[in-house]
Structure 1
Amino acid sequence: MASPPRHLLPLLLLLALLGTSSAAAPGVIRLPRAGACAAPADPAVYDRPVIGIVTHPGDGAAGRIDNGTSTSYIGASYVKFVEAGGARVIPLIYNEPDERLLEKLSLVNGVLFTGGSVKRGPYFETIKKVFQYVLDKNDAGVPFPLFAQCLGFELVSMIVSKDNNILESFHASDQASTLQFPNYSSLQGSVFGRFHPDLIKKLSTSCLVMQNHKYGISPKRLRENDALSSFFKILTISPDENGEVYVSTVEAQKYPITCTQWHPEKAIFEWRKPMIPHSEDAVQVTQNFANYFISQARKSPNRPPADKVLDNLIYNYIPTFSGKTSKSFELVYLFS
C-alpha cells in the first residue's frame, strides 16, 4: 500500500491524536487516549518512598566550615544516592530530642547510616535507637529497610555483637578495590542478585568500589562471634593495602538490612579523592545498589501525610559547597 503524501502526514497525525478520525489513516500510528494508562499493578508497592538519613557530628570539613559544638552534617552524595533510586530524604538530626526523632521516623520508609568517624557519645546512642526501631518494625511484620555504609556498618557490628571492641584495624584509606565473592550461591535474593553476571565478574577482577576506612571486621572474627554470624551472612570480602582481608558487604539473615564497608555513593557524586572509580561499570554498581535499597523501601506500608513530609524534607535546607575545604565531600547539608 502506498504511503500518504508527505505534506499530509502532520495533519493525519494531528487527527489521530485528537481522535477525530473514524479509522486509522494509512501510515498513521494511533496513540492511546489520555487516561488510558493502567493504575499500578501492585497497590502494596509505594512509589513515593522517603528515606531517613542520620546526621553525623561536625561539618564534614574538620571544622573549617562550621565548628559549632552542636553542628552535624549529611554529605549531599548520600542524599543524591537515595534520589538516584527514586526516593526523597528526611534528615534525622542525631542530637534532636527523642520525640522529634520518633516523629521523623514515622514519616519515612527506611533509613541510611552514613560513613564517618564517631563511635561513642550521643551519636552512637542515637544510632542504637534507630537500629532498634528498624528491628522492632520488621519484627512486627512491617518492612523497613536499613542501608549502613562504612562507619554505619562498624556501628551496627558493635551493636549486634554487644562488643564495642569488636572492630579490627585495617589499611584501606583512599583505596579503590575489588569485591570478592566467597559464596556465589548466597547472592540469590541479595542486592547482587540483580547484577548482570558480567558485572559480578568485573567486580571481582577490577577495582570498581571505593574504600576509605581504618577499621573493619575480618571474616574470621565475624564467623567466630555467635551474635554476628547468626545475624549476618557475608556477601563479599576485600583486601586492604597490606593484603589483610576484611568483610566488605553483608546482609542480615532475617531483616532487610544491608551493610557495606565501602562507599557506593562516591562513584557518581564525589570527586575529591583521585582514587574514586568513575568508570561506567563503577557507576552501574552504584545505581544497582541505590535501586535495590529503594526497592526495599517501596515495600513499606507507611503512607505519611504529604504536608508533614514536605515540612521535614531535606529540601528545606540549603547545601553548602565544601569542595574547596573538605577532603571528602563536594557538598554538605549542615544542621545546628
Structure 2
Amino acid sequence: MGTFPVRLLACSKQKPTVQMASPHLLPFLPLLLLLAPSSAATGVIQLPSARACAAPPDPAVYDRPVIGIVSHPGDGASGKISNGTATSYIAASYVKFIESAGARVIPLIYNEPEERLLEKLSLVNGVLFTGGSQKSGIYFETIKKVFQYVVDKNDAGVILPLFAQCLGFELISMIVSKDNNILESFSASNQASTLQFPNYSSLEGSVFERFHPDLIKKLSTSCLVMQNHKYGISPKRLRENGALSSFFRILTTSPDENGEVYVSTVQAQKYPITCTQWHPEKAIFEWGKPMIPHSEDAVQVTQNFANYFVSQARKSPNRPPADKVLDNLIYNYSPTFSGKTSKSFDEVYIFS
C-alpha cells in the first residue's frame, strides 16, 4: 500500500524531508492543510489534536426514558384476530411514535392485577392513553387509577408527563369534570382537518412552542392532522365547566364535517399533561384510511409532538433498574399484522 506526505520538515539549506503517513488520512488532507498553520511560518503542517466531548451529560436529563402505554379492550380488528373476552391491544403506531423520539415502551395491560400495574408504573418516565371507544367498566377504572397516579406523582414534585389522545382526552374530561355525560356528539370520523389557534399567546410553554411559525400557519390553513372520533367537547362547554376550565387551557380547536367546533388540543394548567382529540401517530405509521395526511408537513407535526412528549419524560427523576425494564418492555411481545382485517391499524400488539 502507498503513502502520502502530510508533514514537511524545512531546513535552511536542505531540501525538505517528507514524513509519510497512512493512506487512510488521504480524504482529510485538504481539510488538514486548511486548518494547519502556515508552513512558511513554522515549517511544519500540524494535525489538529483530538478533543474529548465538551461537557458531561446533564444528570438531570434522563436519556433512556420509558413510556407506559395503557392497552385497550379488544384486538384492534373487530374480533377478527382474537375472540378472547380478556383480550386487549396496543396499536403498534403508538409504540413507533414513542420510539421515534428516543424512548422505549412498557405495556400497561388494563386488566392485569393492580399490584402488577403499579409495579410497571414504577418503571416508567411517562404515560400515554390511546384512542379507542371503551368508556366504562374495568378499562375506565384503570384509566382513572393511572391518571390519579400521574397527578399524585406531580403533586409530590416528581415529574411524570401524560399524553392522552382522542378517547384518552375524552376519558380525562369525564374524570376531571366528574361528569360521565360531559361529552358532545361530533361528525369527525375519518377526517383530515386544520388546527385553529384561538390565542397564540397561550402557546408559550406548550408543545406548539417548538413548532416553526411557518408550520403553525400551515396547521391553521391546511388539513395536516387526522381526526377519527364521534365525541368531543366544545370550547363553550369546557369553559363553562369550572373543573375543566381550571384544569385545562385550550390550545387549538377544529371544525367537524358540519362546521361544529370542538376542542382539539389542551394543556393542563399546572401538570405536564397534554391531550389531543386528533391522532398525531397516524401520519407516519398508519396507512389503512385514505384521509390520513402523509405529507412532509404532517410528518413534521407528528415528530414535533413525539419529541415534545419524550423531552418531558427525560425530565423525570425516575431511574428504573435496567433488568426490570428489560423484563417488561413491549419487545417481549410480537406485533401482529392486522392491515388486511382492520382499517384502523396496520399492526397491533395483542395481550390475552
RMSD across aligned C-alpha pairs, in angstroms?
2.1
Report % sequence identity. 85
Q: CA deviation at 1:12?
A: 7.2
Partner of residue 32, structure 1: 50
Count of equivalent residues = 324
Map of 1:109-128 to 2, 5 A cutoff? 109-128=125-144
Q: Secondary structure at the match of 1:61?
A: coil
CA distance in structure 1 between the partners assigned to 2:150 and 2:324 by the alignment? 21
For 2:160 and 2:77, the matched residues in 1 are separated by 32
**Which of 299, 304, 317 is 1:283 aligned to?**
299
Aligned position for 1:11: 23
Amino acid in structure 2 at the alignment position of 1:49? P
Partner of 1:149: 165
Question: 2:175 is paired with a residue of what secondary structure?
Answer: helix
Q: 1:254 aligns with which of 270, 292, 295?
A: 270
Aligned residue number for residue 186 of structure 1: 202
Which runs of 5 or more structure 1 residues have no equivalent in the other structure?
17-22
Aligned pair in 2 of structure 1 residues 4, 29: CA closer, same or farther (>3 Å)? closer
CA apart distance, 1:39 = 5.1
SS of the equivalent of 1:227 reads helix
Work out the CA distance in 2 between the residues paired with 1:31 and 1:93. 53
**8 A contact 1:138–1:255 mirrored in 2:** yes
Distance in 2 between the 1:233 and 1:108 partners?
26
Closer/same/farther in 2, CA of residues 264 and 32 from structure 1, 3 Å limit: same
Secondary structure in structure 2 of the residue aligned to 1:255 = coil
Q: Per the alignment, do residues 96 and 206 of structure 1 end up closer, same or farther by CA in structure 2, a change over 3 Å counting?
A: same
Paired position in structure 1 for 2:75? 59
Q: Does 1:84 align with 2:104?
A: no
Decide which of 209, 218, 223 is 2:225's aligned counterpart.
Answer: 209
- The answer to whether 1:226 aligns with 2:278 is no
Q: Which residue of 2 aligns with 1:19?
A: none
| Partner of residue 87, structure 2 | 71
Aligned pair in 2 of structure 1 residues 12, 60: CA closer, same or farther (>3 Å)? closer
TM-score (structure 2 length as normaliser): 0.88
Q: 1:29 to 1:81 in 2, by over 3 A?
A: farther
Q: Give distance in 2, aligned partners of 1:10 and 1:182.
A: 63
* Matching residue of 1:47: 63
8 Å Cα contact 1:173/1:214 also seen in 2: yes
DSSP-derived class of the 1:70 partner: coil
Equivalent position to 1:272, from 285, 288, 307: 288
1:241 is paired with a residue of what secondary structure? coil
Give, in angstroms, the shift of residue 290 of structure 1.
0.2
AA partner of residue 192 (structure 2): A
Q: Distance in 1 between matches of 2:64 and 2:284?
A: 23
Distance change in 2, residues 1:13/1:249 (3 Å): same
- Alpha-carbon deviation of 1:327? 1.1
Deviation readout 1:104-129 (Å, 9 max, x if unpaired): 00000010000000000000000000
- What residue identity is the alignment partner of 1:32? A
User: For the residues of structure 1 that align with 2:318 and 2:54, how far apart are their CA atoms?
Assistant: 23
3-state SS of the aligned residue for 1:251?
Answer: strand
Given candidates 147, 150, 155, the residue that maps to 1:139 is 155
2:79 partner amino acid = G
Q: CA deviation at 1:151?
A: 0.2
Q: Distance in 1 between matches of 2:282 and 2:188?
A: 15
Instruction: Identify which of 134, 153, 167 aligns with 2:183.
Output: 167
Task: Name the aligned partner's letter for residue 102 of structure 1.
Answer: L
Distance change (3 Å), C-alpha of 1:152 and 1:24:
same
**Partner SS for 2:257:** coil
Once residues 82 and 210 of structure 1 are traced to their aligned partners in structure 2, the CA distance between those partners, rounded to angstroms, is 18
Matched residue SS, 1:128: helix
Structure 1 residue identity aligned to 2:247: F
Distance 1:112 1:233 in 2: 19
CA distance in structure 1 between the partners assigned to 2:22 and 2:301 by the alignment? 44
DSSP 3-state at the match of 1:135? helix
Distance 1:310 1:228, change over 3 A: same
Residue 42 (structure 1) shift: 1.8
Measured after TM superposition, the shift of residue 10 of structure 1 is 5.2
Structure 2, unpaired ranges of 5+: 8-19, 29-34, 38-43
1:102 pairs with 2:114: no
Amino acid of the residue matched to residue 215 of structure 1?
Y
The one-letter code matched in structure 1 to 2:80 is R
Instruction: State the partner residue of 2:311.
Output: 295
2:109 counterpart (87, 90, 93)? 93
Distance 1:324 1:10 in 2: 56
Q: Distance in 2 between matches of 1:196 and 1:10?
A: 46
Q: How does 1:295-334 map to 2 (within 5 A)?
A: 295-334=311-350
Q: Secondary structure at the residue paired with 1:179?
A: coil
Counterpart CA distance in 2 for 1:121 and 1:227 is 23
